[in-house]
Amino acid sequence: MNICVVALGKIGLPLAVQFASKGHRVIGADVNEKVVELVNAGVEPFPGEHDLDVKLKQAVDAGLLSATTDTASAVAESEAVVVVVPLFVDAEGTPDFGWMDSATKAIAQGLKPGTLVSYETTLPVGTTRTRWAPMLAEGSGLTAGDDFHLVFSPERVLTGRVFSDLRRYPKLVGGIDEASGARGVEFYEQVLDFDERADLPRPNGVWDLGTAEASELAKLAETTYRDVNIGLANQFARFADQNDIDVKKVIEACNSQPYSHIHQPGIAVGGHCIPIYPRMYLWNDPAATVVRSAREANAAMPEYAVDLLAAAYGDLTGVNVLVLGAAYRGGVKETAFSGVFPTVEALKARGAVPFVSDPMYTDAELLAHGLTPHAGEKVTAAILQADHAEYRTLTPADLPDVTVLVDGRRTTDPEAWKGVRRVVIGG
């Protein structure tokens, strides 16, 4: 089978490599000429994805994967097109379809009868049927459902472990009609492998949800659930702080029975998914008060961590404070919606002088993100924002002048910090 993957980013490129590993010929289309050049050379354009460097080179060397900036021509050569172009939303949750519209129009130019088009980018419910189907039809002169198949099949993987997640989680598919759904199932069964999962209600594999709308909602629902759950955990943590209760012990106790699955509280919810998709859901369903309240609760946590620091340290005016971690989560070199940015802003609002360090980022990279790198300046307070593995062994000897540490992720060893004021959220 000839397959086109549109957008060779942190999800699209591993997908292209996965498809090629099953013996299919894959053409990756991307507007970034540098990305195309690197892919054609068998070199990963971004670090951090497990096994991508090896698998990419193997696919390119085998002649099964190539890249181009000409999306229309790549689509014209393909029997299936998988779209992983980014979709952005503003602070109010309004989607910006600009990049996806451009990609869809280019796909339409090369679309031929019998082709399957699968959108994997997370979308508001109804987008596949009401936006992409008419746009593809208008640009190609073909009729969706009659002349070509169209499905929504959300990506459900985390960067850094895409290949293992592709095997572990069922692949959800929903078509604009029954034939499209069946074609989507057939396609993904040919390009993916699945681990056995005894815990699932039916065998792991490709699951047809019946409609594109159901598949779109499934992606929004699973990520929104996590945001709401974390928001609840953060509310419990703030109450625990007020009443001298260790919320970690409470959550462990609650989760000891099978009907409780409370997540962990923390300083921030970051990344491309959990902070964004609840807003997208709210765009569909503005009356969802539970979702809105959880999003507000989680967005308030960086400022709450700074409040904890001020309560323990005192006036922060003129105080040099080190924020540990620019990444949105440990072990991943990504700052999308990272808690570092609101934490730094909250510190500045208190009159503090914030510095940032991160084992995954150079000083130049931190500066490029608008952050001030720590270059040996004396700091007397610190806030741990990302749960990097390196911070598990952090001790006062590493920060000799720090008198208060707010560990926003409970990553540091409490025994190692005896003698220094160590504050945790919900602790």
- All structural domains of the chain, each given as residue ranges with its CATH number in brackets, are 2-210 (3.40.50.720), 246-427 (3.40.50.720)
Over the chain (427 residues), the average pLDDT of each successive run of 10 is: 97 98 98 98 93 97 98 98 91 87 98 98 97 98 98 94 97 98 98 97 98 98 97 98 97 97 97 91 96 97 98 98 97 93 98 98 98 96 98 96 98 94 97
Q: How far from chain centre, in Å, is Cα 330?
A: 13
- Can you tell me whether residue 95 is helix, strand or coil? strand
Number of H helices, E strands in the chain: 16, 15
User: Are the C-beta atoms of 7 and 84 separated by less than 8 Å?
Assistant: yes
pLDDT of residue 28: 98
First to last CA, the chain: 55
Segments of 260-357 assigned E as strands: 320-324, 353-357
pLDDT of residue 93: 74
Please tell me the distance from the alpha carbon of residue 79 to that of residue 111, in angstroms, as a whole number. Answer: 9
pTM of the model: 0.91
